[in-house]
Amino acid sequence: MHARLRELRSVLDRVDADRVEQWGRRLGRELPRGRRLLACGNGGSAAEAQHLTAELTGRFRGERVPLSAIALHADTSSVTAIANDYGYREVFARQVRAHGRPGDILVCLSTSGASENIVAAAAAAREIGMTTWALTGEAPSALLAACDDAVRVPSADSATVQEVHLSLIHLLCAAVDDTCAAAVPAPAHAARLAEDGSA
């Protein structure tokens, strides 16, 4: 096996996957009841935040109700307007204040845990009364202190951390789907799609 793949397997063996499954089960209970998930990250972490929200608003594996999930970097007009008027540090925090409500959940993705705009978003979410979760790398960081809960990937390599984050996102989505399937019936249109073969 290639050395990089051996390292990735070693990190996957040591990450707290059980915690992520707990998050997924909570989302599977709360999002169908009207809660909203917000997600933020920079660069590759932004892509993973958007991957997460796409799986929730669409579907991951099985059919289920659509779930409210917003990737905060994806509205480029809002991001550029806020950055222009308030500075890049506020691009996510201001959107959290606009979209977040008490009881909603913010997922922060950051390999370093030191990005000021991500830390500011977590602080804004906690002020509102949202739950805040972080996916980070191994180093202690300001983001860990700003969030209610966190899963740290035990690696100093940013690429490895992001690869593991994506695996954890898929694990979380599977737990969401399993919880929704147990608690919430699939929407009626899914049954119609299955009947006519267009699913």
DSSP 187: P
pLDDT digits over 30-87, tens only? 999 999 999 999 999 999 999 999 999 999 998 899 999 999 999 999 999 999 999 9
| 188 pLDDT more than 70 | no
Residue type, 149: D
pLDDT digits over 96-106, tens only? 999 999 999 99
**What is d(CA 105, CA 122) in angstroms, rounded to the nearest whole number?**
10
Number of compact structural domains in the chain: 1
Phi, psi of 174 (to 5 degrees): -65, -40
In terms of residues, how long is the chain? 199
- Can you give the residue range of the structural domain that contains 160? 14-180
Q: How far is CA 169 from the centre of its chain?
A: 7
CATH of the domain at 45: 3.40.50.10490
Residue 12: half-sphere exposure toward Cβ, Cα within 13 Å: 15
- Strands of the sheet with 105-110, listed across from one edge: 69-71, 37-40, 105-110, 131-136, 149-152
pLDDT number for residue 184: 46
**What is d(CA 28, CA 128) in angstroms, rounded to the nearest whole number?**
22
72: in domain: yes
105: in domain: yes
